[in-house]
Structure 1
Amino acid sequence: MRGLKKKRRIQIIVLAFVALAGSTALVGYAMQDGINFFRSPSQVMAQAPSPNERFRIGGLVEEGTLTRDAGEVIHFAVTDGGASVPVVYKGILPDLFGEGQGMIGTGRYINGVFEATEILAKHDESYMPKEVVDALKEQGVYKPSEGSKAGS
């Protein structure tokens, strides 16, 4: 009788471990597309990511690079002061998007061009995403404005 209880306890522990491992694997698989790492333009130019890797890139929209094709295709370059990455985006840009403004884009880097699927712009005149501020500070080109709210 004692051996049967011990055997049953071991079976329950093994079953619980298998269930925990299975649920962890399912959560990891579900989050696979939801995790996007941030890279600055300097990091992208120093070590180009693979074409199938989704990531976020951020910086300032470089002055004089914003062009619009027929339709909704927009071309521009994003810079952190150390490097510039050409970006192409098909869609409608946020109202506050413009040259010299902070932005974050999500997409893939394919054949030397970042193909964005989503573009986010700062939401008021003094806001800049924390990742962009950190990248600009790293390059030594960040100049905070009066009452700026970095990452708020």
Structure 2
Amino acid sequence: MTRKQRRLVMIGAAGLVLAVAAGLVAYALRDSIVFFYGPTEIAEKGVAPGTRLRLGGLVEAGSVQRGPGQEVRFAVTDSKTVMTVHYSGLLPDLFREGQGVVTEGVFEGGTRFKADSVLAKHDENYMPREVADTLKKQGHWQPGEDKPGAGTAPAAK
């Protein structure tokens, strides 16, 4: 084998090793790539209790219950399925019933979710795209919003 042929074989082998490594990483992350799951997706997918994930949807009206200290319970819905969230800590200032929310924590099984962080939408014109897309899919999107996840832009003159 000439020097040039050996070099090409080495480059080809290195490329193959990198491709296999990238494939293994993509395979391992296949369920973690999604930004969040809606309550219906969790129920349909059969997520195992103890799985760490993100849950997104709307805070159900009348569901917020405050306990001793900073304990809070509320329900997150995608208009089809309701998931009860238990959270201990300070809620964001913009957290309220009927608003979009994404919680991160551990699925406890059934319809129970233990959150360790809660993210609320940051103003009246924005909702995380994934939450808005799920709500639109469920037919629960607020009319008048053309693009979920985007604020209203002024018209060009």
Bin for the TM-score computed over the shorter chain: 0.7 to 0.9
Whole-Å separation in 2 of the counterparts to 1:43 and 1:36: 11
Please report the TM-score for the alignment, with normalisation by the length of structure 2. Answer: 0.73
- Going from structure 1 to structure 2, the CA distance change for 1:132 and 1:22 (only over 3 Å counts) comes to closer
Q: Of 102, 105, 117, which residue of structure 1 is paired with 2:103?
A: 105
- Going from structure 1 to structure 2, the CA distance change for 1:25 and 1:60 (only over 3 Å counts) comes to same
* Residue correspondences, number: 149
Q: Could you report, residue by residue, the CA deviation over 1:93-150 in whole angstroms, capped at 9, with x for unpaired residues?
A: 11000111111112221132111222111111232222222222222222235x7863
- Going from structure 1 to structure 2, the CA distance change for 1:17 and 1:38 (only over 3 Å counts) comes to same
- Going from structure 1 to structure 2, the CA distance change for 1:86 and 1:80 (only over 3 Å counts) comes to same
Contact 1:41 1:84 in 2 (8 A): yes
- Unpaired segments ≥5 residues, structure 1: none
Q: C-alpha displacement at 1:11, in angstroms?
A: 6.3
Judging by fraction of residues, say which structure has more strand: 1
Match of 1:133 in 2: 132
Q: Percent identity?
A: 44
Q: Of 75, 86, 89, which residue of structure 1 is paired with 2:87?
A: 89
- Going from structure 1 to structure 2, the CA distance change for 1:102 and 1:148 (only over 3 Å counts) comes to farther
Please report the TM-score for the alignment, with normalisation by the length of structure 1. Answer: 0.75
- Unpaired segments ≥5 residues, structure 2: 151-157
